[in-house]
Amino acid sequence: MHIHILGICGTFMGGIAVIAKQAGYRVTGCDANVYPPMSTQLEAQGIGLIEGFGIEQLELGPDVFVIGNVVSRGNPLMEEILNRNLSYASGPQWLADTLLRDKWVLGVAGTHGKTTTSAMLAWILEYAGLHPGFLIGGVPQNFGVSARLNPPCPPFAKGGKTSDACTTAPPFAKGGSGGISFFVIEADEYDTAFFDKRSKFVHYHPRTAILNNLEFDHADIFPNLASIETQFHHLVRTIPGNGLIVCNGREESLRRVLQRGCWTPVETFGSPLPSVGEVQGEGGWHIDTNDRVTLNGKLQGTLEWDLLGEHNRMNALAALAAARHVGVPVTQGLAALGKFENVKRRMEVRGAVNGITVYDDFAHHPTAIDTTIAGLRSKAGKARILAVLEPRSNTMKLGVMKNALPGSLKGADLVFCYAGNLGWDARGALAPLGEKAVVKDDLNELIGIIAVAAKSGDHVLVMSNGDFGGIHEKLLKKLPQE
C-alpha cells in the first residue's frame, strides 16, 4: 500500500512516515519546507520528499493521503483531493486504524513533560526487554530516533538482559493473553486536522494512560482551560476498564476531569487529592527529598540519576507507575532510569567556553520556564544563571501569558529576551524584572550583549521551542576565549 503524507516534515508526521515505512508501506510525502535535519532523516529511510503542495502530486496515485494538521483549506493539493473525492485520513486516525489497533498503547498526555515522560517510559520498557514501539515528539538519546515500530527481539544492546518478552509479555490487566506488543506514544492535546478539531489523543485508545498535568495552553485553538479539560475527558472516556490511568494528584484541573466520569482504575503520583478517592484507584506514588520512591507508603527503592528538577522527579513517578502496569517491577524501572540519557533539547549542554556553559531547552510555557530554571538552580547553586528566552510558541506569540513571564523568570540572575516579530510589548511585560532584563529586536545584537555579560562560571540557559536562529553556536563563538 502507498501513502502520501501532506506535512511530512513535522516531528509527528515524520514519525508516522518512519514507522509506516518500517511496517512495509510505500511512503512519500510533501511539505512547504523540506530541509535538514528532517529531510535527511526521511530520505535515509528511503522516503521520497517533494517540496510544496502542487496538484501534480496526484499523479503518484497513493491509496490514501495522510493529512497533517499544518494543512488547511485553500491548500492547492488538499483542495484537489477534496474535489476528486480521493481517500484521505488525518495522521492520528490513520496511525490508530492501521498500526496501533493490535498493540497495548501507553499514552502520555499533559501540558508539560509529555516528551520526557514518554522517553522515560519507552526506555524502561526497553531496558526490561519488552522492545516497545514508540512515537515521541523529540529524540530520546537512549534510542537516537523519535519513532520506531516494535523491533524484533535481539539480545539487549546497552546492558540489561536478553529477553523473550515478545512472546511472553504480561497479559492484559484482569485477563487476556500474552504475546503483547507495546507502543508508547506522546498523546498530544493539539487538534487533529482541519476537518477533525478533536485532540490527537482521542484516536489512540491507550490501555495505560498518563495524565501528567493540565494547564491552559494552545491559545490559538482553545478559548480557555475548560475547553481543554473537555478534550481530556474525551480521552478518559476511551480508556478501558481493565486499563489504568496514572494521574498527577496535585492538579485540580485533572481532578475536575475525572469527576466528570471515570470508568478505569486510577493511581495518583505526587500529593493525592482527596476527591480522587471518589473514583476507582489505589493511588499513592511519592518521592521524597532523598529520591526514595514509595507506593502506598511502602518503599520501592531509590532513584539515582543525573536529571534536574522536581518536574523530572514527577515525570519519573508517572513512568514507573505506567511501566509497572505492564509488568515491569519498580526496582527494574528505577535501574533503567539510572541509565536514562534524557531527550535532546531538554537541558542539553551545547558547549562550554572559558567556564561558561550554554544549555538548550525546549521550555516555552511560563510553568516550564519556571521549573527549568529551578532545576538548573539546584545544580548551579550560587552561580549565575543567564536566562535567554524566545517567546515563539503560538500561545506566547498571542501574548496570552505575557503577564506570567516575570514570575517564571524570577529565579534567573539576568534575563535576555528576543522580541523580533512579536505582536506585543515584551519590554513592558518584563518591566517588573527591572534592570536585570534586556529585550532586543535584533538577534545578533542580543547575542553580543549576552557575550559581554557572561563571565566564567555562568550558566547560560537558552529556552525556545524553535531553533532560535542558531543562537547556541553563534553565542559559543562569540563568548570570550581564555
Per-residue pLDDT 10s for the chain (482 aa) are 999 999 999 889 999 999 999 999 999 999 998 766 677 778 888 898 999 999 999 999 999 999 999 999 999 999 999 999 999 999 999 999 999 999 999 999 998 889 999 999 999 999 999 999 999 988 888 898 889 998 754 443 334 443 444 444 444 433 333 568 999 999 999 899 999 999 999 999 999 999 999 988 777 788 899 999 999 999 999 999 999 999 999 899 999 999 999 999 999 998 654 444 444 444 589 998 888 999 988 999 999 988 877 888 999 999 999 999 999 999 999 999 999 987 777 778 888 898 899 999 887 788 888 888 988 898 889 999 999 998 877 777 777 778 888 888 999 999 999 988 787 888 888 999 999 989 888 999 999 999 999 999 999 999 887 778 888 889 998 887 76
Three-state DSSP class for residue 159 = coil
C-alpha cell at 109: 498526555
User: What is residue 76's predicted lDDT score, i.e. its pLDDT?
Assistant: 97
Q: How many other β-carbons are positioned within 10 Å of the β-carbon of residue 350?
A: 16
Cβ contacts of 306 within 8 Å, gap of 6 or more: none
User: What is residue 348's predicted lDDT score, i.e. its pLDDT?
Assistant: 84
CATH of span 102-337: 3.40.1190.10
DSSP E strands in 104-187: the ranges are 104-109, 133-135, 147-148, 182-186
Using DSSP bridges, classify how beta strands 191-193 and 2-6 pair: parallel, antiparallel or unpaired. Answer: unpaired
Q: 477 φ, ψ to 5°?
A: -75, -30
User: What is residue 160's predicted lDDT score, i.e. its pLDDT?
Assistant: 40
Overall pTM > 0.85: no
Q: Is the peptide bond before 37 cis (omega within 30 degrees of 0)?
A: yes
Q: Which of 186, 203, 223 is closest to 112 using CA atoms?
A: 186
User: What is residue 128's predicted lDDT score, i.e. its pLDDT?
Assistant: 96
Sequence letter at residue 459: H
**Beta-ladder partners of 386:** 414, 460
Summarize pLDDT for 327-377 with one digit per residue, the tens: 999 999 999 999 998 777 777 888 889 889 999 988 778 888 888 898 889
CATH number, domain 2-93, options 3.40.50.300, 3.40.50.720, 1.10.287.40, 3.40.630.30: 3.40.50.720
User: What is residue 163's predicted lDDT score, i.e. its pLDDT?
Assistant: 41
What is the residue extent of each domain of the chain?
2-93, 102-337, 348-478
Whether 225 contacts 215, CB under 8 Å: yes
User: What is residue 401's predicted lDDT score, i.e. its pLDDT?
Assistant: 79
User: What is residue 398's predicted lDDT score, i.e. its pLDDT?
Assistant: 76
CATH number, domain 348-478, options 3.50.50.60, 3.90.190.20, 3.40.50.300, 3.90.1150.10: 3.90.190.20
C-alpha cell at 329: 517491577
